[in-house]
Amino acid sequence: MLDEGKRFWRSDIESLKRDRDRIHNIARKHEKLNLTEAATLLGITPGQVERLVKEGRLAPVLYEIINSRAPVNLFRRGDLERLRSSIQVIVSGWDAGTGPVPAVDRGPVERTKKRPLRRQETATPPDGILTLDDFQIEAAEALREGLSVLVSAPTGNGKTLVAEMLARDVMSQGLGMIYTSPLKALSNQKYRDFKALFGDDSVGLVTGDISINPAAPMLIMTTEIFRNWCLSEPQQLEKTSYVVFDEIHYLDDAERGTTWEESILFAPPHIKILGLSATVPNVDEMADWISSVRGGNVVVILEKRRIVPLAVRWLLPSGRIVSEREARGKIGDLAEYSKALRNGRYWNGTNKTADLPELSCSEITGLIQDKLPALFFVFSRGRTEILAQELGHDWDFLDNKEKRMVGKQIREAEAEYPGAFSGPGWRKLRRLLYQGIGYHHAGLLPPVKYLVEQLYAKRMLWVVFCTETFAAGVNFPAASAVFDSTRKWDGRDFRILQNREFFQIAGRAGRRGFDQVGHVFVRIDSRFPEQTGFFREKEVEPVTGRLTISPNTVLSLLCYKTDDEIKHFLNGNFRMHQLKKRKDSLELEIKIVTEKVSELSVCPDCQTLACPLERLKARRQLKRLRWKGRTREKDLLQKKLSSFVPKKCRDTEKCRITSEKLKQSQTFLHLLKQEYKAVTENANSIFNEFKEVRNLLEELGYIKEREFYPRGIFALELHVQEILVTELAFSGLLEDADPAEVAAVMAGVEYIPGKNTHVAGLDLPALHETSLIRRNLLKMGVPERFCIWSALPGALAYAWFNGASFNDLLEMSSLQPGDIFSLFRREIDLLRQVERAAAGNPGLVERLQAVRSRLDRDEVALNF
């Protein structure tokens, strides 16, 4: 069945029309037969045909729903004819009892859990690496020469080892190094890893709410902290020789990319850069930009080869594992299934019609049980837990000895962090861990996530259901990676994964030293088969600049930078670099096409009604106007036609060809000029954005040119919702309101509730006053992105401040433990910022410190 919107080349249609036999053969192969007809064609019974379907040897191509009857399987004649030559061998195998193992039974779960096949695996080398790869050696040599380096290599190839070698060299010289990461969880993981390598005294951790050994020669920190140090505390970086940007392709992140760009632009000139990136097509462009804004040579180390190559395959709802080519061919049939069932539901006037059967995680595990351990990537926290529970009903991967080892790990974790390991959620996960099954997502408390990570690293978990953050830099490879879906919610809509996202996650498949190949499986969603993604590593999206201007950016530039430095910043960001390159390219193209247009020799009467070709077009237009009865337009065209004296042209064909070339060139030139205009306007947008925010700050009384007023001085120390928080402080609310209400207000800063988030209601004067302040700011023209606040989490902060238990908070809301933990850690970080901003008001500082200390307790104070 073809989509009515599709179009086909006329030449292809004409060719088919001339080849009637070919059309007949195609139609015959796609003829659909019912169960009885299929059995007759194969020379077997209908029951044996059904067994072929169950074993995945034969796939039905359509569910037909007629007169409200149950769906009927139909089969394509071509599939049956291909199978007919081997049908006797298959049937004789059944008779001998040596046939293939049937697909996983979809019936009731048996009481006895299934046990997987075990593979014999070679021992891993002590450091996980036998020899250094060429790209690692080249990177190390360039770093020893004191150069900035960008390393672009596939996930799992060992980019972090380059940073480890750099750290040894830097610290041996008595210098310092900073390692930045995009996520706090990743910073914590790297801190533990590097501390194990270099010792407690050599490594420190600095994030928004934690500072451990900040004087250490090697510091792990979030990129936001490094950016802030570059601007306000550059003296902290005097002994730092290198900064490592892990996952530097986060420049392209819509929310975090600005911080990465500002870090690169603001870093002191003596600091060199080591950027670690997944494979991106424009790494040379990134290096060229860094070189242009920081000076010096930037060496690009590019490794396209995967140490453990990937084998990507798709999982059909029938349970068959197929190649991309076959999967693409089946998508249309599966879409027809789904459409027919939906139509059947409407025809029947009931919602009882079942959807296409979905391949369960238990069945998938059975199909790939010789390719474990596996990471199941799921783009929904709740679904990770649901799927893990489903798998736990069917499978148990651990023997008694392994269960005892898991129990020992669990008891040690519970003893160290008793508050984190409680409640019904933990009890469910605990049972699964004893079966070698786990799940991992941001809704879990950090100690719980860490326990899952440790059990997986020690090969005590065979299947882990996780969200994509598990693949963001943390090194936990698997034999297989399974995609529950290739659709994800991006905050605005569901969309197919980008190539870069897919291969970042898929790269977790394949363990160096264990696997010859990394197995990647994509489950085709039976509800939305047409939205299945197909990916090309050679078509990974380029990194683009994402710089945006915040109030803190403007205040920091005006406070710490000269006019020339501000101009350099606005001209030197990555987006401007890319736009300039495109602008230069367009200028050259416009010049070439303009010259081509001028060189085309065209008759002077061309494109006038004196030209025979143009007169012919005009006469056709007259006929159309006459037929439509548009007399006035017809008369005007007739008059215009009469005003030209027809020219006798001896070479109309040559004139026609030249005229067509001219029109094509002029059209192309017009498009180039339009793009040039758009690029120019886009290039000016960053300057306009800076001016708009600067004018806004002047209107609000924060600054006047380069003079800072009290509000501006206060906001300079803030990095979250600077204008809103400053107005809350200057309104007197933070000083006058009850401390518990202050905690409630500050919890809502930059909080955007999820679609189905609910929290027990709370009516507090401070929340009403904050809402009024926010509305007034919006009326004054402050953009909504500078006034993000919600009263929703206020009840949680109010209760926590007043001594509620963590379980009390869980009962009050739909939030998960990890969400509440992150909410309070962000609030504690914000309170620290406000304390620094209010340094001239000791009373307010003392008040905020008291609020912070009441919040920073028990589960929220977990140091992870």
Q: pLDDT tens digit string along 779-791?
A: 999 999 999 999 9
The mean pLDDT of the chain is 84
Q: Is it the case that residue 709 has pLDDT exceeding 50?
A: yes
Mean pLDDT of 302-321: 90
Confidence of residue 318 (pLDDT cuts 50, 70, 90): confident
pLDDT value at residue 15: 59
Q: Is it the case that residue 340 has pLDDT exceeding 80?
A: no
Confidence of residue 113 (pLDDT cuts 50, 70, 90): low
The structure tokens listed for 443 are: 């809704």
Rounded distance, CA 421 to CA 428, Å? 11
The structure tokens listed for 786 are: 């500078």
Q: Among 358, 408, 424, 354, which Cα is nearest to 387's?
A: 358
pLDDT value at residue 68: 35
Higher pLDDT, residue 599 or 427:
427
Query: Residue 635 to residues 151, 618, 639, 640, 641: CA-CA distances in angstroms?
Result: 71, 12, 6, 9, 10
Q: Is it the case that residue 475 has pLDDT exceeding 50?
A: yes
Cα angle value 334/339/342 (rounded, 5°): 130
Rounded distance, CA 681 to CA 673, Å? 12
Q: Is it the case that residue 85 has pLDDT exceeding 90?
A: no
Sign of CA dihedral 268, 274, 280, 281: positive
Q: Among 1-15, 161-175, 331-345, which stretch is predicted with the lowest mean pLDDT?
A: 1-15
Q: pLDDT tens digit string along 525-552?
A: 877 788 888 998 888 899 998 899 999 9
pLDDT value at residue 103: 38
CATH topology of domain 310-539: Rossmann fold (3.40.50)
Sign of CA dihedral 767, 772, 775, 780: negative
Q: Among 104-118, 574-588, 765-779, which stretch is predicted with the lowest mean pLDDT?
A: 104-118
Q: Is it the case that residue 802 has pLDDT exceeding 50?
A: yes
Q: Is it the case that residue 98 has pLDDT exceeding 50?
A: no
CATH topology of domain 134-302: Rossmann fold (3.40.50)
Q: Is it the case that residue 643 has pLDDT exceeding 80?
A: no
pLDDT value at residue 110: 38
Pure H helices in 7-158 = 10-18, 20-29, 35-42, 46-54, 77-84, 87-96, 134-144
- Mean pLDDT is highest, among 31-40, 57-66, 94-103, 221-230, for 221-230
Q: Is it the case that residue 684 has pLDDT exceeding 60?
A: yes
> How many residues are present in the chain?
864
Phi-psi sector, 712: left (phi>0), alpha (psi -120 to 50), beta: alpha
pLDDT value at residue 608: 66
Q: pLDDT tens digit string along 291-300?
A: 999 988 999 9
Pick the CATH number of 717-861 from 3.90.79.10, 1.10.3380.30, 1.10.10.10, 3.40.640.10: 1.10.3380.30
The CATH number that domain 10-96 falls under is 1.10.1660
Confidence of residue 685 (pLDDT cuts 50, 70, 90): confident
pLDDT value at residue 604: 63
Rounded distance, CA 435 to CA 814, Å? 28
Secondary structure of 289-316 as H, E, C letters = HHHHHHCCCEEEEECCCCCCCEEEEEEC
Higher pLDDT, residue 456 or 348:
456
pLDDT above 70 covers what percent of the chain? 85
Q: pLDDT tens digit string along 147-199?
A: 999 999 988 888 889 999 999 999 999 999 999 988 777 888 889 889 999 99
The H or E element that residue 376 is part of is: strand 374-377
| Type of residue found at 67 | N
Q: Which regions of the chain carry the CATH code 1.10.3380.30?
A: 717-861
Mean pLDDT of 822-847: 95
pLDDT value at residue 93: 61
The H or E element that residue 438 is part of is: strand 437-440
Q: pLDDT tens digit string along 189-200?
A: 889 889 999 999
- Mean pLDDT is highest, among 124-133, 187-196, 600-609, 616-625, for 187-196
- Mean pLDDT is highest, among 38-52, 355-369, 507-521, 580-594, for 507-521
Neighbour tally for 55: CB within 10 Å:
18
Q: Is it the case that residue 323 has pLDDT exceeding 80?
A: yes
Q: In this structure, are residues 403 and 434 in contact, taking their beta carbons and an 8 Å threshold?
A: yes
Confidence of residue 126 (pLDDT cuts 50, 70, 90): very low
Q: pLDDT tens digit string along 408-464?
A: 999 999 999 988 898 888 999 999 999 999 999 999 999 999 999 999 999 999 999
pLDDT value at residue 173: 93
Q: Is it the case that residue 638 has pLDDT exceeding 80?
A: no
Sign of CA dihedral 594, 600, 605, 609: negative
Confidence of residue 704 (pLDDT cuts 50, 70, 90): very high
Q: Which regions of the chain carry the CATH code 3.40.50.300?
A: 134-302, 310-539
Q: Which regions of the chain carry the CATH code 1.10.1660?
A: 10-96
Rounded distance, CA 152 to CA 165, Å? 17
Pure H helices in 349-394 = 361-367, 381-394
Cα angle value 454/459/464 (rounded, 5°): 75
